[in-house]
Amino acid sequence: MALLAQVVASMPDPTSREQAALLEAELATAHNVAHAITVSSGTAALHTALVACGIGPGDEVLLPAATVIMTVAAVVQAGARPVFVDAGPDGGLLDLADAAPKITARTRAVVPVHLAGRCGDLDALTDLAVRAGLDVIEDACQAHGSRYRGRLLGTVGTVGCFSLKDGKLVSCGEGGYLVTDNPDLAARAAAFRTHWQTPAPGQPALSRLGTNYRLAEPLAALARCSLARLDDTLTHRQQVARHLVELVGDLPGLAHIPATADEQPNGYCALWRILLPDPRGLCRRLADVGIVNSVGTFGLRAAHLHPACQELHPAPCPRAERDIDTLLAVLTPEDDQRVDQIAALIRNEVQAW
Ligand SMILES: Cc1ncc(COP(=O)(O)O)c(C=O)c1O
């Protein structure tokens, strides 16, 4: 609170970006990367990353159909065309066998989305991207602290994008950031984030149009406090997720989705596959009794099915549709007391469904 009061007192100075600059240095250290750029949301991070990769009108970007609408919106905001990729038969969100034939001369990047802090076979995806000359823009908005083969998600590809929205493992209400080792990309991202007023090297100020995606100073101060607790938050959320799965136990009609040997998820969500009729109805029912879950609470569905995506003429992605429709992704609570209640509610509701 003292830090926040101090930041608010300094706000009459319109040039101060002290907290955002400190946060960027701390984020770079925490992710073991050369550069972190703060922005005003996870969606802004994705948009900024795409622009900083030089992606725009005429370009195509591959992304899983099994994603949130924000990933799609960022690609469209950058002026590029989203090309939806189906989920894999093994449960991975982005099927390489479906992605490969969708690569054209216009394809510039692939966006793996680490829903629930999971990532599937990221090495195979990166190999495909390298062979095709594509940037890998990781949507790591749900993946703070998750690892793949020991590497932090968001640091495997060209650039990683994170959200600081409430509920995430690092949060300040609203906000976002991107991380990269590429200095030119970082400079372009920083320039775009503030109307190209601080230009990328070799470019005059205001030589391009950007936007205002700055993270407000009080929010940056809050994010610094949250980041300082990340190790504890991570351990806690991972324990809570494990505990919740144990308490729910074996139930007919509900199958836990374990992490693969290569994934170390951050405990953001606990995941089950629903094997009962009307799985979306069950998710909504669970939301009604207070269990925050992706499908029931936030209306998650395969992105290519949203009315807003129909003008993109998406190809069918039946596995993504089925995988999302039967997914129970419960956000892990901070409060240990709630775990028992949530587990009991899930058991009761599933048995009664
Ligand atoms: C996977 C994913 N991508 C992108 C976003 C967008 O982040 P924001 O809400 O901060 O714009 C979110 C937000 O929850 C998300 O979960």
Instruction: Convert the pLDDT of each residue in 264-283 to its tens digit.
Output: 999 999 999 999 999 999 99
Which residue, among 205, 222, 204, 155, has the nearest Cα to 1 in the 3D structure? 222
Residue 15 has pLDDT above 80, yes or no: no
Find the 205 Cα to ligand 1 centroid distance in Å.
30
- According to CATH, where is 3.90.1150.10 located in the chain? 230-352
Q: Which of 94, 142, 213 to mutate to test the pocket of ligand 1 (most atoms within 8 A of CB)?
A: 142
pLDDT tens-digit readout, 165-211: 999 999 999 999 999 999 999 999 999 999 999 888 888 889 889 99
Provide the residue type at 94 as one letter: L
Residue 12 has pLDDT above 70, yes or no: no
Whose Cα sits closest to atom 15 in ligand 1?
Answer: 141
Q: Which of 39, 40, 43 to mutate to test the pocket of ligand 1 (most atoms within 8 A of CB)?
A: 43
Asked if residue 113 has its Cβ within 6 Å of ligand 1, the reply is: yes
C-alpha distances in angstroms, 165 versus 111, 153, 177, 194, 295?
20, 18, 11, 20, 18
Whose Cα sits closest to atom 7 in ligand 1?
Answer: 42
DSSP states along 215-270: PPHHHHHHHHHHHHTHHHHHHHHHHHHHHHHHHH--BTTEEE-PPPTTEE--SSEE
Whose Cα sits closest to atom 9 in ligand 1?
Answer: 42
Q: Which atom of ligand 1 approaches the CA of 41 most closely?
A: 10
- The predicted model gives 27-55 an average pLDDT of 98
Provide the residue type at 97 as one letter: A
Residue 104 has a pLDDT of 98
Question: What is 230-352's CATH number, 3.40.50.2000, 3.30.300.30, 3.90.1150.10, 3.90.1300.10?
Answer: 3.90.1150.10
Quote the mean pLDDT of the chain: 95
Asked if residue 165 has its Cβ within 6 Å of ligand 1, the reply is: yes
- The predicted model gives 234-263 an average pLDDT of 96
User: What share of the chain has pLDDT > 90, as a percent?
Assistant: 89
Provide the residue type at 302 as one letter: A
Residue 16 has a pLDDT of 78
Residue 22 has a pLDDT of 97
Asked if residue 45 has its Cβ within 6 Å of ligand 1, the reply is: no
DSSP SS3 for 273: strand
Find the 245 Cα to ligand 1 centroid distance in Å.
25
Fold topology of 2-228? Aspartate Aminotransferase; domain 2 (3.40.640)
- According to CATH, where is 3.40.640.10 located in the chain? 2-228
Find the 42 Cα to ligand 1 centroid distance in Å.
5
Q: Which of 165, 166, 226, 331 to mutate to test the pocket of ligand 1 (most atoms within 8 A of CB)?
A: 165
Q: Greatest CA separation found in the chain?
A: 65
Which residue, among 115, 172, 105, has the nearest Cα to 138 in the 3D structure? 115
Q: Say which range, 1-10, 19-28, 151-160, 300-309, has the weakest mean pLDDT.
A: 1-10
Q: What is the spatial distance between Cα 24 and Cα 281, in angstroms, rounded to a whole number?
A: 42
Residue 323 has a pLDDT of 97
Burial of 231 (0-12, 13-18, 19+ CB in 10 A): exposed
Asked if residue 70 has its Cβ within 6 Å of ligand 1, the reply is: yes
Q: What is the spatial distance between Cα 325 and Cα 42, in angstroms, rounded to a whole number?
A: 24
Q: Which of 38, 63, 70 to mutate to test the pocket of ligand 1 (most atoms within 8 A of CB)?
A: 70
Residue 6 has a pLDDT of 79
Residue 335 has a pLDDT of 81
pLDDT tens-digit readout, 84-94: 999 999 888 99
Q: What is the spatial distance between Cα 208 and Cα 198, in angstroms, rounded to a whole number?
A: 11
Residue 1 has pLDDT above 80, yes or no: no
Find the 114 Cα to ligand 1 centroid distance in Å.
11
